[in-house]
Amino acid sequence: MQPLLQTTHLSFAHPGNDPVVQDVHLLVPEGSLYGLLGPNGAGKSTLLKLIAGLWRPTKGDIRIFGRPLAQQQPTLYKRIGLQIEGPQLYHHLSGRENLRVFATCRGLPEKRIDELLALTGMTDHAYRKVGAYSTGMKQRLGIALALLPDPELLILDEPTNGLDPTGIADVRALLHHLQQAGKTLVVSSHLLAEMEQICTHVGLLHQGRLIAQGPIGELMPGNGQTPLRIECAAPEQALPLLPGAVRGADGLLHLEVPGKEHIPPLLEQLRQAGILVYQVRITPMRLEERYLSLIKEQP
């Protein structure tokens, strides 16, 4: 797949402050669903504003659709749709009126509004004031707003924020549907487990730096690595004895060994240190664990 969006040495800092985004080399292939993942404060929204051309980088270049971004404004916005730190909606207007404001600015017909209301499941709520909408309805209308120009590239910032499990599943299905329809999506999230289910590619952000990116399968440990989870009596004492181990959010120790034959020596080591082992499980590594192990490798 060709890169639809590419950044080189991209950096951004507010005047007089530390950089929020540092030396990012982003590569988003055409037709991919690219998950820009990281915890709150990692620099995801800032990076999205930079690649959308809303903020100017302190350093570095952005190429989009094969050309420098700066040469394409504002016509670029005929080809991209976005929802960053949103959804941004006029609360005194109805859902349909919100879409009409931006459809009018873009010179789009009324038919396009009906299509998007149907696509996002908002037809029945189109005439209600947005101020009375639930968080999920606002999110869906925000996505509809981003889809107005039928964009080739869709940039969405935390589209599942504040949604209940059903709402999250709906958005996930919608994003998957859009990717299958040939659109390229860049979606930021701090919910790594959620994004793991739908992304074709991911970029992992940590303190403004892109610490890893690529097809999701390639980011996971290579062949021959056996991911383990160990529950023991004193995890903090056990950590120094297990090379590469990290403590997961579930309280278990997460580590990788080259093969099953390496498990008994590890257990023996723990036994000799007087640490009781309650359970050892071989589990496929999840994106969240991979992220934590990558952070640990950072200088």
Partner 1 sequence: MTSFLNALRAEHIKSRRSFAAWLAGAGTGANLLMFWVLHLADTRWVHAHDNPWRGWVTGHYQGIAFMMLPLFVIILTSLVAFQEHRRDMWMQLLALPTARSALFFSKFLWMYGLFVAAHLAFIVGMLLTGALTGLLLPATGLLGHWPAPGQVALLASYTLFSVLGLAALHFWLSLVFRHFIIPLTIGILGFVLVQLLGPASFLARWLPYGPPVQFMPAYESGIVWQWQPVVCSLAYAVVFGVVGRWAFLRMRP
Binding residues vs partner 1 (CB under 8 A): 49, 52-55, 74-78, 80, 82, 84-86, 88-93, 97, 100-102, 104-107, 145, 149
Q: With respect to partner 1, which residue has the nearer C-beta, 72 or 225?
A: 72
**Rounded distance between C-alpha atoms, residue 142 and residue 99, angstroms:** 9
Question: Measured from the CB of residue 130, what is the shortest distance to partner 1 in angstroms?
Answer: 9
Q: With respect to partner 1, which residue has the nearer C-beta, 76 or 212?
A: 76
Question: Measured from the CB of residue 52, what is the shortest distance to partner 1 in angstroms?
Answer: 6
Question: Measured from the CB of residue 229, what is the shortest distance to partner 1 in angstroms?
Answer: 42
User: Residue 247 burial (CB < 10 Å; 0-12/13-18/19+)?
Assistant: middle
Q: With respect to partner 1, which residue has the nearer C-beta, 153 or 202?
A: 153
Encoded tokens for 262: 């390496």
Encoded tokens for 130: 């947005």
- Identify residue 78 by its one-letter amino acid code: K
Question: Measured from the CB of residue 9, what is the shortest distance to partner 1 in angstroms?
Answer: 21
**Rounded distance between C-alpha atoms, residue 117 and residue 96, angstroms:** 8
Distances from the Cα of 212 to the Cαs of 25, 50, 55, in angstroms?
Answer: 10, 19, 24
Of 124, 164, 118, 165, which Cα lies nearest the Cα of 143?
A: 118
Q: With respect to partner 1, which residue has the nearer C-beta, 89 or 202?
A: 89
Q: With respect to partner 1, which residue has the nearer C-beta, 153 or 242?
A: 153
- Identify residue 253 by its one-letter amino acid code: L
Question: Measured from the CB of residue 106, what is the shortest distance to partner 1 in angstroms?
Answer: 7
